[in-house]
């Protein structure tokens, strides 16, 4: 019976020693957090293993993260996938439609967001200044030199080519007028006025020629003969041609001296401002001007933007990760952690395993105590 109690006592002592030593070893991984000194002499095993090797741990964690966790292939396989590309396209298209294409904001609102104010007034002022400058240039050009110098040569040639047509038109209209009742009345009035102006002599002439109607008819016939005579066409053509040549030599300023330039400038600017109507145009939304914007952007813009972005991200992924220097970031972050945080981090993951190690130490210590008790018992028997 004494042997059993001795054996159990030794098993208890062994288990206590084994469990305590393992528990102490686990605690010494983290504790103490700082080195302990007696005077200038630092106590051995202080600080604990992890606080002592903290810098090395931070470096190794950084290398582990960059070499095995946050690698270019991981980002490529997890982020740059066709499915994510479709989601990104749908998201971007939805935001474009919601925030831009179907927005209630007018063009004026967008301009104000961009920091542009009084655009309509500024554009109108600029337009008026440009119109003034251009009209002044036109005025200066038109009023400097002769018609021959100002008017384009091709226009002058075209006018000369039209002189025969104009001559024929004038003679034709003259013939129609002379042969018309209005022409007959005109000739009759002219003859009567002529005879009356000659007094008695006119009366004698009237008696000599007889009825005025017959005299008018004779004058009409002679006038028509004159109109249709070839020489009349040549004479009129020559006169028009000479007058046109004289006109070409005249200064344009002389012909345009009474022209209302200021009225023209005012009318042109008012017409341009009315047609531009920039203020009212800017008070409309993008959808008013571009109702097919959603369809066009969904087919031609958004997919290309996302495709370009994903392609560039894939090309620049490895270089970008190198520039980020994730290993240094991890090291810096770990260096800023209090040792207690590292302890909680490790224990939070492996607390159960550490308890099992303590239990295993106690179990092994108990078994060793039993074995020692048996060895002592059998040694005493011999």
Tens digits of residue pLDDT in 155-209: 888 888 888 898 889 888 888 888 888 877 777 777 666 555 655 544 455 544 5
Q: What is the pTM of this model?
A: 0.53
Greater model confidence, 8 or 36:
8
**What is the rounded distance in angstroms from the CA atom of residue 187 to the CA atom of residue 194?**
10
**Final residue belonging to a domain, choices 210, 233, 255:** 255
If you average pLDDT over residues 224-229, what whole number do you get? 83
The residue segments making up the domain with residue 181 are 144-255
Q: How many domains does the chain have?
A: 2
Give the three-class secondary structure for 139.
Answer: helix
What's the confidence (pLDDT) of residue 302? 93
Residue 48 lies in a domain: yes
**Is 281 a residue whose pLDDT tops 60?**
yes
Residue 339: per-residue pLDDT: 66
Judge if 246 and 320 occupy the same domain: no
What is the pLDDT at residue 202? 46
- Helix (H, G, I), strand (E, B), or coil: what is residue 146? strand
The reported pLDDT for the residue numbered 257 is 78
Residue 213 lies in a domain: yes
In a domain, 236, yes or no: yes
Measured between alpha carbons, how far is 142 from 144 in angstroms, rounded to an integer? 6
Percentage of the chain exceeding pLDDT 90: 8
The pLDDT value recorded for residue 208 is 47
Q: Is the dihedral of CA 42, 45, 47, 52 positive or negative?
A: positive
Exposed/middle/buried for residue 170 (C-beta within 10 Å: 0-12, 13-18, 19+) = middle
- Residue 87's closest CA among 308, 304, 303, 294? 303
Which residue matches tokens 């294409």?
A: 101
Instruction: Give the pLDDT confidence score for residue 361 in this predicted structure.
Output: 74
Cα 298 to Cα 100: distance, rounded to the nearest angstrom: 13
- The CB density around residue 142, as the number of other CB atoms within 10 Å, is 17
User: Ranked by mean pLDDT, which of 179-183, 212-216, 279-283 comes out on top?
Assistant: 279-283
Determine the pLDDT at residue 53.
66
Q: Which phi and psi angles does 179 have, rounded to 5°?
A: -85, 0
Tens digits of residue pLDDT in 235-261? 888 898 898 888 888 888 877 778 888
Residue 106 inside a domain? The answer is no
Q: Residue 51 to residues 39, 265, 283: CA-CA distances in angstroms?
A: 21, 87, 67
Contacts of 280 (CB under 8 A, 6+ apart): none
- Residues 155 and 243 both lie in one domain: yes
Whether 360 maps to a domain, the answer reads yes
- Distance (Å, rounded) from C-alpha 166 to C-alpha 163? 5
100, part of any domain:
no
Query: Apex CA 210: angle with CA 204 and CA 214, to 5°?
Result: 135
Instruction: Summarize pLDDT for 97-154 with one digit per residue, the tens.
Output: 999 988 889 988 888 888 888 888 888 889 889 988 888 888 888 888 888 888 888 8
- The answer as to whether 24 is a domain residue is yes
Sign of CA dihedral 152, 153, 158, 160: positive
Query: 105 lies in a domain?
Result: no
Give the per-residue pLDDT at 2.
66
Do 148 and 247 reside in the same domain of the chain?
yes
Q: Which of 231, 255, 279 is the last residue of a domain?
A: 255
Each residue's pLDDT tens digit, 63-106: 777 777 777 788 788 888 889 999 999 999 999 999 998 888 99
Shared domain check, 327 and 225: no
Distance separating alpha carbons of residues 216 and 208, to the nearest angstrom? 14
Look at residues 115, 98, 123, 142 and name the one whose alpha carbon lies nearest to residue 286: 98
Pair 248, 319 in one domain:
no
Element (H, E) at 38: strand 37-38
Percent share of the chain, pLDDT over 70: 79
Strand (E) or helix (H) holding 20: helix 2-28
Question: Are residue 317 and residue 250 in the same domain, yes or no?
Answer: no
Residues 6+ apart with CB under 8 A from 150: 141, 142, 144, 252
Q: What is the per-residue pLDDT for 258?
A: 80
């Amino acid at each position: 019976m004494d042997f059993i109690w001795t054996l159990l006592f030794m098993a208890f002592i062994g288990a206590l020693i084994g469990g305590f030593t393992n528990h102490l070893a686990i605690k010494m991984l983290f504790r103490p957090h700082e080195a302990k000194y007696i005077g200038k002499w630092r106590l051995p095993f202080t600080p604990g293993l992890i606080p002592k090797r903290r810098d090395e741990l931070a470096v190794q964690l950084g290398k582990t993260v960059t070499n095995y966790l946050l690698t270019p292939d991981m980002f490529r396989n997890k982020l740059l996938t066709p499915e994510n590309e479709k989601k990104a396209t749908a998201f971007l298209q939805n935001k474009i439609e919601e925030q831009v294409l179907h927005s209630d904001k007018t063009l004026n609102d967008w301009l104000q967001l961009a920091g542009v104010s009084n655009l309509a007034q500024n554009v109108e002022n600029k337009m008026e200044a440009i119109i003034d400058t251009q009209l002044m240039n036109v005025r200066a050009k038109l009023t400097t030199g002769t018609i021959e110098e100002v008017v384009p040569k091709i226009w002058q040639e075209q006018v000369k080519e039209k002189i025969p047509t104009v001559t024929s038109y004038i003679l034709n209209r003259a013939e129609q007028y002379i042969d018309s009742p209005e022409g007959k009345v005109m000739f009759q009035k002219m003859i009567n006025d002529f005879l009356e102006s000659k007094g008695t002599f006119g009366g004698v002439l009237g008696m000599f020629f007889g009825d005025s109607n017959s005299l008018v008819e004779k004058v009409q016939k002679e006038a028509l003969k004159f109109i249709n005579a070839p020489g009349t066409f040549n004479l009129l053509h020559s006169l028009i041609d000479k007058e046109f040549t004289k006109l070409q030599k005249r200064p344009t300023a002389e012909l345009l001296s009474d022209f209302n330039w200021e009225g023209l400038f005012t009318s042109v600017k008012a017409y341009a401002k009315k047609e531009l109507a920039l203020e009212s145009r800017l008070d409309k939304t993008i959808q008013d001007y571009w109702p097919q914007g959603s369809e066009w952007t969904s087919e031609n813009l958004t997919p290309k933007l996302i495709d370009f972005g994903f392609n560039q991200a894939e090309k620049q992924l490895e270089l970008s990760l190198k520039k980020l220097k994730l290993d240094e970031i991890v090291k810096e972050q770990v260096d800023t952690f209090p040792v207690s945080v590292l302890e909680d981090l490790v224990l939070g993951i492996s607390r159960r395993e550490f308890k099992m190690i303590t239990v295993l130490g106690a179990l092994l210590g108990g078994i060793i105590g039993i074995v020692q008790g048996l060895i002592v018992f059998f040694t005493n028997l011999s």
